Structure 1
Amino acid sequence: MTAVRDLPEELPHDAATAALTEKRMRRMRVFGGPAPTIDRSTLPPGPGWPPLLQSIGLLRFRHQFVPWAHRRYGDVFTVRLLPDRPLVLFTRPEHAREIFAADPETFLAGKANSILGPMMGEHSLLLQDRGAHQRARKLLMPAFNGHALREYGDLVTEVARADLAGWHDGEELRALDRMNRLTLEVILRVVFGVTDERRLALLRPRVTRVVDISPAVLFGWSVPRLRRLGPWRAARQNAHELDQLIHAEIRERRTAPDLATRTDVLSLLIRARGEEGDLLTDEELRDQLVTLLLAGHETTATALAWALYELGRDDALLARTTAAADDGDDAWLEAVLKESMRLHPVIPMVVRTLTAPATIGGVDLPAGVTVGPSILLAHARPENHPEPDVFRPERFVGTNPPPNTWIPFGGGVRRCIGAGFSLMEGVVVLRELLTAYSVETLADDRPKVRNITSVPRDGARIRVTAR
């Protein structure tokens, strides 16, 4: 194993944990193993560029590349990703319905998400399939049911108020940075159950560095030599340090005298038992915690940042939303958040890898192909959402868009387990923020890709004015 430099004195260091980190990085393949042998002539049309250029197009310039491919090749088209993996994107709601309702034994989501493997680990809910996924989901579900969400709401309110107390009248700021800071605090307290300021200070920068990773670094995990160079080396070192902190927290929590009464997700998972009475191992706990941390932190923060950006551009919309915050009209606040997720998708697509031939939308596809509905295109189709370029929260008031046309959380048996938590958190933050401040957008913004997500390129710059 490559030696890891000595960690700072305040960080725990355990050789067994360091070995687990290195083992995960070696085992988890970004591309999920060797590329399948597939007759390309049997696939829907798509760009003829080399896989490298198409990968860059999809991951770095997706907001230009995907709409262009749709205009050029139609509602179903093929993109070839490194090393030479075909991805067939679908754009119509009936296509999404077929994919979400398909047999999960044939349509594997975990295999399709392999790019996240080196960071999230093989036990991650996003990377597991079949029986392993069912077991993990059953163990996680109690932490995200209605009763748990009601308890978390008070904590989210407390965290939001504490953060907003540090804002200043007339301050100009990047909404994305502030929302990332706030939602990170929520995750660390609700999921990890960490309240000690020293530990929080150690966790915050390391989690932030994971979230801020570039697509190039993600792809570099598959090349062992790169892990010794520049940004890949820094990312690897950060992974080691974060793992040390997480495993130390798990070990200590297992013996905490108040474990039986704690309501944070980590404590609930430590107490959870499978159908055969088995407990989650430390490694399983680590992988699920990191998954919840990464999947539930930046996505909600980005949706909130875009929501504030849109509110700050429209005085009438801001007035209506401010009144909703004052009156406790959570339905309208949730509609604002949902419309933010529709107009500004954080994740570009929902993917599955076929283990056997399948037919979707009348298109016959061979085993080994990855398929999925494009969230970017589904949310932008005018037949799904009239005037799709206009921010209109009323689309979600008293009704919902047609099925499979709004899919930020995926669908079917793999629908995001944290969807309810994300919406609850977003509503609470909007309510607390808008009862304290008015917002004004300072400049136009557009999306850019960070890790696998899309965020405001300039951070959604706003000015806040105390009410």
Structure 2
Amino acid sequence: MRPTERDGLPRGPKIPAAIQLVMMMRWWPQFVAACRRRYGTVFTIQNTMMGKMVYLADPDAIKTVFAGDPRIFHAGEANSMLGGLLGDTSVLVVDDDVHRERRRLMMAPFHRDAVARQADLMAEIAAENVAGWPVGRAFAVAPKTSEITLEVILRTVIGASDPARLAALRDVMPKLLSVGPWESLAIAKPSLLTRWPWRRLARHMAESDRLLYAEIAERRADPDLAERTDALAMLVQAGGMSDKELRDQLITLLVAGHDTTATGLAWALERLTRHPEVLEKAVAAAESGDAGDEYLDAICKETLRIRPVVPDVGRILKEPTEIAGYRIPAGVMVVPSITSVHSDPAVYPNPDAFDPDRMVGATLSPATWFPFGGGNRRCLGAGFAMVEMRIVLREILRRVELSTTTEPGEKTKLKHVIMTPERGGRITVRARRPLLRLSGKPDVVSIDTATRGPLPRS
């Protein structure tokens, strides 16, 4: 066994925990990267909010965590800082039998066939949004991709169709999800929501709850419930969840499935506009229909490798456990570091290069490519997110011609636990493309701007 320090924990920075908290809130991935360079593939960080955390950048150690007994490796407890927003019954913050049962109930909407049925609607929503993009001037694309993914979630997951409620949800959700370090404090400690600096956040939470509970009530009363394909309808049909539990799962899907996918898409466009040869291949793939899906998928995978949306995932140990040669005490959080592994030259040669070709036909290990986490806690909506990224990217590349740039790549900015492009992923649309009919696919129909439903064909 390797020598250990400080109560059996690996080495790490000795600066005060309060200062480490500030550094993580401001420079989370950069701080972790600096520790990785100094201390190696296993090191300890501690702060006053999350306690002691053993970071893991070794794939073998990460395999141990992802394959570990869920009764010992508690992911829900590690996510407890999100409970103030998601609710205490969210699938992300519960463990053991409760988590297993909740996850079982939520699987149906994310089955491959269920996701495939939503593909046309995803394309329609993307097409309508892209039609409004400016031509000839630079703009931040992250707000646009956020509009697309929010609409996809509202229509496919929540199934919202009432125009007034849809408009209200479109208005309040971006405000609720615009979470910075200041708002994060109140989410981690909900008692702060009653104090004046956080009352606006509390109002946004109350408004979103009002709207989501109205959707739940409408779905429970729907005589055609069995014919609906939205995730909320499927959860109601499955039974076993109260209105409060349904609300917690809906807000979880909104938070985990909207901002993350939007950020991934913004990073993909930011990367493509800085790599002309890759962009040219991507456009050809987008215009070739199903035949181009493999390359578009490779772009999405490589984007999530080189610009992962979240920096890491955590598990709190319920028993002392040996990992990477250290006997780590109960109560410590072990943290597989996504950013560290995805940038490791021993795993990905020339890791700073944006190279989708490395993903074409690759068999990816769950311990070396894990932007959606891993093990029994791998993101439920991973398949949904990958399909959505590919479809939206295809619609963008089919419909507009993007300018390339020699500007340096955008730095990352931390938005709660999401790493977004610092300037919002600024791009320029040079021109609109003449729309080619995809082989074997109908052209995307127009969207009613009031309800976002398809208009009748003329």
Aligned residue among 456, 463, 466 for 2:421 = 456
Give the Cα–Cα distance (whole angstroms) in 2 for the partners of residues 84 and 398 of structure 1: 39
| Residues 70-112 of structure 1 deviation map (CA, whole Å, 9 limit, x = unaligned) | 1121211111122471011000111111100000000000000
Per-residue deviation, 1:288: 0.4
Code of the residue aligned with 2:411 in structure 1: it is R
Note the 1:224-239 alignment, pairs <5 A.
226-239=192-205
Per-residue deviation, 1:213: 0.8
| Residues 215-261 of structure 1 deviation map (CA, whole Å, 9 limit, x = unaligned) | 23212345566434454111111111111111111112110122121
Per-residue deviation, 1:466: 1.2
Per-residue deviation, 1:41: 2.7
Aligned residue among 142, 147, 163 for 1:197 = 163
Q: Alignment partner of 2:158: what SS?
A: coil
Aligned residue among 56, 76, 80 for 2:46 = 80
Give the Cα–Cα distance (whole angstroms) in 1 for the partners of residues 128 and 280 of structure 2: 24
Per-residue deviation, 1:198: 1.6
Partner of 2:88 in structure 1?
Answer: 122
Code of the residue aligned with 1:313 in structure 2: it is R
Question: Is the Cα–Cα contact under 8 Å of residues 347 and 452 in structure 1 kept in the other structure?
Answer: yes
Partner of 1:184 in structure 2?
Answer: 150
Aligned length, in residue pairs: 424
Note the 1:304-343 alignment, pairs <5 A.
304-328=265-289, 329-343=292-306
TM-score (structure 1 length as normaliser): 0.88
Give the Cα–Cα distance (whole angstroms) in 2 for the partners of residues 365 and 404 of structure 1: 20
Partner of 1:11 in structure 2?
Answer: none
Code of the residue aligned with 1:456 in structure 2: it is P
Larger deviation, residues 435-444 vs 45-54 = 435-444
Give the Cα–Cα distance (whole angstroms) in 1 for the partners of residues 281 and 248 of structure 2: 42
Partner of 2:72 in structure 1?
Answer: 106
Partner of 1:405 in structure 2?
Answer: 368
Q: Which runs of 5+ in 1 are unaligned?
A: 1-38, 274-278
The answer as to 2:228 corresponding to 1:267 is no
Code of the residue aligned with 1:53 in structure 2: it is I
CA 1:332 to 1:230, structure 2 compared with 1: closer, same or farther past 3 Å? farther
Q: Alignment partner of 1:41: what SS?
A: coil
CA 1:362 to 1:313, structure 2 compared with 1: closer, same or farther past 3 Å? same
CA 1:106 to 1:457, structure 2 compared with 1: closer, same or farther past 3 Å? same
Code of the residue aligned with 1:460 in structure 2: it is G
Q: Alignment partner of 1:243: what SS?
A: helix
Question: Is the Cα–Cα contact under 8 Å of residues 309 and 441 in structure 1 kept in the other structure?
Answer: no
Note the 1:41-440 alignment, pairs <5 A.
41-83=7-49, 85-223=51-189, 226-273=192-239, 279-328=240-289, 329-440=292-403
Q: Alignment partner of 2:88: what SS?
A: coil
Give the Cα–Cα distance (whole angstroms) in 2 for the partners of residues 91 and 190 of structure 1: 36
Question: Is the Cα–Cα contact under 8 Å of residues 211 and 451 in structure 1 kept in the other structure?
Answer: no
| Residues 8-42 of structure 1 deviation map (CA, whole Å, 9 limit, x = unaligned) | xxxxxxxxxxxxxxxxxxxxxxxxxxxxxxx9432
Give the Cα–Cα distance (whole angstroms) in 1 for the partners of residues 369 and 20 of structure 2: 26
Give the Cα–Cα distance (whole angstroms) in 2 for the partners of residues 334 and 222 of structure 1: 35
Question: Is the Cα–Cα contact under 8 Å of residues 84 and 190 in structure 2 kept in the other structure?
Answer: no
CA 1:47 to 1:75, structure 2 compared with 1: closer, same or farther past 3 Å? same
CA 1:258 to 1:265, structure 2 compared with 1: closer, same or farther past 3 Å? same
| Residues 312-342 of structure 1 deviation map (CA, whole Å, 9 limit, x = unaligned) | 1122111100000000211110110111111
Code of the residue aligned with 1:217 in structure 2: it is E
Per-residue deviation, 1:188: 0.5
Q: Which runs of 5+ in 2 are unaligned?
A: 434-458
Give the Cα–Cα distance (whole angstroms) in 2 for the partners of residues 59 and 400 of structure 1: 34
CA 1:83 to 1:171, structure 2 compared with 1: closer, same or farther past 3 Å? closer
Question: Is the Cα–Cα contact under 8 Å of residues 81 and 188 in structure 2 kept in the other structure?
Answer: no
TM-score (structure 2 length as normaliser): 0.90
Per-residue deviation, 1:167: 2.2
Per-residue deviation, 1:390: 0.5
Question: Is the Cα–Cα contact under 8 Å of residues 70 and 96 in structure 2 kept in the other structure?
Answer: yes
Question: Is the Cα–Cα contact under 8 Å of residues 385 and 401 in structure 1 kept in the other structure?
Answer: no
